[in-house]
Amino acid sequence: MVRQFDTELDTLKQQILRMGGKAEAMIQSSVQALVKRDLSVADNLSQLEEEVNSLQVEIDDQCFKALALRQPMAHDLRFIIAAMKISADLERIGDQAVNIIENTKILLEFPELKPLIDIPQMAEISKGMVRDSLDALVEGDAAKAREIVLRDDKVDALKNQVFREVLTYMISDPRTIQVGLQLILVARHLERVADHATNIAEDVVYMVEAKDIRHHAEEEHHADKETQG
């Protein structure tokens, strides 16, 4: 027999997945608008932002009700705590998409600097981290979640590459300064998307293993690297 509470937790999980899908779509739209130099690609952004915000309020509300009425214990309690944190991270991922479209608006006032390679790649990896961290949540898969934390380094490395490359342009030709600055800011926003996905993955490990890896992520990380070679 299925507990009524299990059905509620399942609904909560579905809502998080929906919210994640929309946050990911926001990143997709904003980066595509940037790459294609066409703001109309991101016409759906405000609508998605509203939906993401409503979902956050709904999720928090359901978590509150579950805590107040169900007195959840152990794994269920950790799931509800994780759900509240994850909804906050997803909402902030959506905020980054809004930041990116603001940068794009300024950037489109100027000629194209160069075809973008690293930024779309950062977007792909970050979106993958978001998607996979939510899969790990649904599957209760801590190993998968831990693997996501490791990908954060790749996004950081790409961000540094964007910084270095764009700076070279800016220094050699001052007319590229405004565009370069916007590209650097976009790279930072995408780095933050990856950070939020990392937070989600850490919350999944906490939920599954009742273990807080947040401030030991680096040690874990080094340990993993050592075992790799």
Q: Interface with a copy of itself by CB under 8 A: which residues?
A: 53-54, 56-57, 60-61, 63-64, 67-68, 71, 73-74, 77-78, 81, 84-85, 88, 167, 170-171, 174, 177-178, 181, 184-185, 188, 212, 214-215
User: Smallest distance from the beta carbon of 91 to a copy of itself, in angstroms?
Assistant: 8
Distance, CA of 29 to chain centre: 14
User: Smallest distance from the beta carbon of 132 to a copy of itself, in angstroms?
Assistant: 22
- Asked whether the beta carbons of 202 and 133 are under 8 A apart, the reply is no
The length of the chain in residues reads: 229
| Cβ-based nearer residue to a copy of itself, 57 or 117 | 57
| Cβ-based nearer residue to a copy of itself, 11 or 71 | 71
- Asked whether the beta carbons of 146 and 201 are under 8 A apart, the reply is yes
Other CB atoms within 10 A of residue 117 CB: 13
Task: Measure the CA–CA gap between 4 and 202, rounded to whole angstroms.
Answer: 28
Maximum C-alpha span of the chain: 70
Other CB atoms within 10 A of residue 43 CB: 11
Q: Residue 168: which H helix or E strand, with range?
A: helix 142-172
User: Smallest distance from the beta carbon of 170 to a copy of itself, in angstroms?
Assistant: 5
| Cβ-based nearer residue to a copy of itself, 84 or 135 | 84
| Cβ-based nearer residue to a copy of itself, 10 or 218 | 218
| Cβ-based nearer residue to a copy of itself, 102 or 135 | 102
Distance, CA of 118 to chain centre: 17
User: Smallest distance from the beta carbon of 148 to a copy of itself, in angstroms?
Assistant: 19
User: Smallest distance from the beta carbon of 35 to a copy of itself, in angstroms?
Assistant: 23
